[in-house]
Structure 1
Amino acid sequence: MAANNRRTPLERVEYAIIVSTLLLLVVVTVQPLLNLLAVSLSDPAKLPGMSGMEVLPRGLSFDVWSLLINHPNVRAGLLNSILITGVGTLLNIIFTALMAWGLSRPGLPGRRILFIMVLVTIVFDPGIIPDYFVNKRLGLLDSYWSVILFKLVNAWYLIILIRFFEEIPQELLDAAELDGSNAFQTFWYVVLPLAKPALATITLFYIVFHWNEFFRAMIYITDQGKWPLQVVLRQFVIGGDKLAIVGVDAANNYTGASQIDLRALKAGMIILTIVPILVIYPLILKFFTKGTMSGALKG
């Protein structure tokens, strides 16, 4: 309250404009998601009259969610997406951090040449056809690895980490060396704890990248049992037929399947693909505001 009183009239107006703008952006962003959730939870009989602006369900029905969660294609897609995202992100962070730490050291032989090679990968993309033949030659077709190993080290994220590591004071590294730490111990106990904000940032980027992957999985994975959730969603939405996701057997055996609206099924599938990212983001957000040297130079 005291800080608010110290603002000038112009600053108060600016503050009100900024807050109002941010609230408007929140409403514009959240409203479509709430509408999709409301559609997926509405009574099928009342759904036809529901507009795209409503955020509360009409009636309450869990038929859509029961059908989606119990369907083998959706459950397999969800598990596949979790597997691809988890393993892929872990490998991404390990190799990106190791490579960034090496390229950030001034004494690394050939450092400039290696860095130029990294920049070349940003400018020149090999294309899908050479990439396909490489995966075929390595025997990665129709396997999770064809998706997991793609862009194991993203050049942009690598540059972010390199610049971050270069800001770590040399005095801290020298102190660790004097305490008897070897190169790996210094990297693990000194460098990585200081790099939590940068690591959290690129971790979120990698998670979103893997979770939203569908193009490569659609090309390289022919076994539908290995499809990630995004491919299942695409096949359903593009197909425009609820049997594409429900399946003929489920439609015949499930008493409510014939009454379930295609719009509600699409809404449920979209929410199912979005929720995991919405859950993970707040867990990582706390690291974004931490400084590079947070606590490093205390005492």
Structure 2
Amino acid sequence: MERAESVIIVSVLLALVVITVQPILNLLAISLTEPANAPGMSGLAVIPDGLSFDIWTLLANHPAVQRGLINSFFITLTGTVLNVTCTALMAWALSRKNLPFRRTIFILVLVTIVFEPGIIPDYFVMRRLGLLDEYAAVIIFKMVNAWYLIILIRFFEEIPNELIEAAELDGANPFQIFWRVVLPLAKPALATITLFYVVYHWNDFLRPMIYFNDQDKWPLQVVLRQFVLVGDKAAIVGLEAMNNYTGASQIDFKSFRAGMILFTILPVLAIYPLILRYFTKGTMSGAVK
């Protein structure tokens, strides 16, 4: 009976894996297919029809894609560092029972969840602050996410007071306690919100599309959206660049679109294994003797 249940569970999980991975493999197959054969590729194909790296070479050398990649890395890295730093500092303060007006501040945080302003008030605020066409317009938005703040507050509250008291007896000041005691114990929680912030900044296209009139500041997602949804080949891909590229006369929009989609999701997929290893580690293992 147990063996049958295990077979069923494993079969269901394998089916879910196939359903999840197949679209990505299909995009990879289309992008690596000979451009002339790409139009005939079906949505279920996972093997390239004639191996070719023309699409990836074009993507790697195209100015719009290069600028978008640099902009995305800058916005994601800067925004995530500021997000995690501010969220951790505020969460640690709100987790302390003796903080003045702690309850009032926490209620105000909850209010921002219930009454979140829309994109139009945000736009007017950014325009009045003179932040349109500035990276700060998308970096400082939701500097502290209320949901992630609550996650860290609950995590910090679980840290034994004995550790804090022991650090104080050793002469550590509040900053040293936070940096050398609290943060090392909070690696799983910090990894979680870091991953959330990275995915948010990397995938954000609505606000950069609204706030950035300067196309040189467009992140990769806006470049992808402009090309895939709008189909603006002349502005994004550059017909002249395609015609000058070796074999460009055979490059198909379908294969280029597949490569562009993969190009935007691979960086996020690459960081998952680096962060997920913290999820399985014991938080307080060996902390209290």
* Shorter-normalised TM range: over 0.9
The aligned counterpart of 1:191 is 182
In 1, are the aligned partners of 2:227 and 2:237 still within 8 Å (CA)? no
The aligned counterpart of 1:108 is 99
Distance 1:69 1:160 in 2: 39
Distance 2:231 2:204 in 1: 21
Instruction: Tell me how far 1:156 sits from its aligned partner.
Output: 0.2
Is residue 102 of structure 2 the alignment partner of residue 77 of structure 1?
no
The aligned counterpart of 1:86 is 77
The aligned counterpart of 2:272 is 281
Instruction: Tell me how far 1:102 sits from its aligned partner.
Output: 0.3
Structure 2 matches for 1:84-233, cutoff 5 A?
Answer: 84-233=75-224
Q: TM-score, normalised by structure 1?
A: 0.94
Is residue 258 of structure 2 the alignment partner of residue 264 of structure 1?
no
Structure 2 matches for 1:7-46, cutoff 5 A?
Answer: 10-46=1-37
Show structure 2 runs of 5+ residues with no match. Answer: none
The aligned counterpart of 2:40 is 49
Instruction: Tell me how far 1:290 sits from its aligned partner.
Output: 1.6
- The CA deviation string for residues 111-150 of structure 1, in whole angstroms up to 9 with x for no partner, is 0000000000000011122211211122211011100111
**CA-atom RMSD, angstroms?**
1.1
Instruction: Tell me how far 1:228 sits from its aligned partner.
Output: 0.2
Which amino acid is 2:52 matched to?
Answer: S
After alignment, is 218-227 or 232-241 more displaced? Answer: 232-241
Instruction: Tell me how far 1:297 sits from its aligned partner.
Output: 2.3
- The CA deviation string for residues 166-210 of structure 1, in whole angstroms up to 9 with x for no partner, is 000001100010111010100100000000000000000000000
After alignment, is 230-239 or 253-262 more displaced? Answer: 253-262
Instruction: Tell me how far 1:53 sits from its aligned partner.
Output: 1.0
Q: TM-score, normalised by structure 2?
A: 0.97
Is residue 281 of structure 2 the alignment partner of residue 295 of structure 1?
no
In 2, are the aligned partners of 1:242 and 1:265 still within 8 Å (CA)? no
Distance 1:234 1:157 in 2: 28
Which amino acid is 1:230 matched to?
Answer: Q
In 2, are the aligned partners of 1:241 and 1:262 still within 8 Å (CA)? no
Distance 1:169 1:138 in 2: 43
Instruction: Tell me how far 1:241 sits from its aligned partner.
Output: 4.5
- The CA deviation string for residues 23-63 of structure 1, in whole angstroms up to 9 with x for no partner, is 11111111110110010010122223221111111111111
Aligned length: 289
In 2, are the aligned partners of 1:243 and 1:251 still within 8 Å (CA)? no
In 1, are the aligned partners of 2:113 and 2:146 still within 8 Å (CA)? yes
Identity rate, percent: 72
- The CA deviation string for residues 232-264 of structure 1, in whole angstroms up to 9 with x for no partner, is 000001122433432133133224222111110
Cα 1:46–1:252 change in 2 (3 A) is closer
In 2, are the aligned partners of 1:204 and 1:284 still within 8 Å (CA)? yes
The aligned counterpart of 1:235 is 226
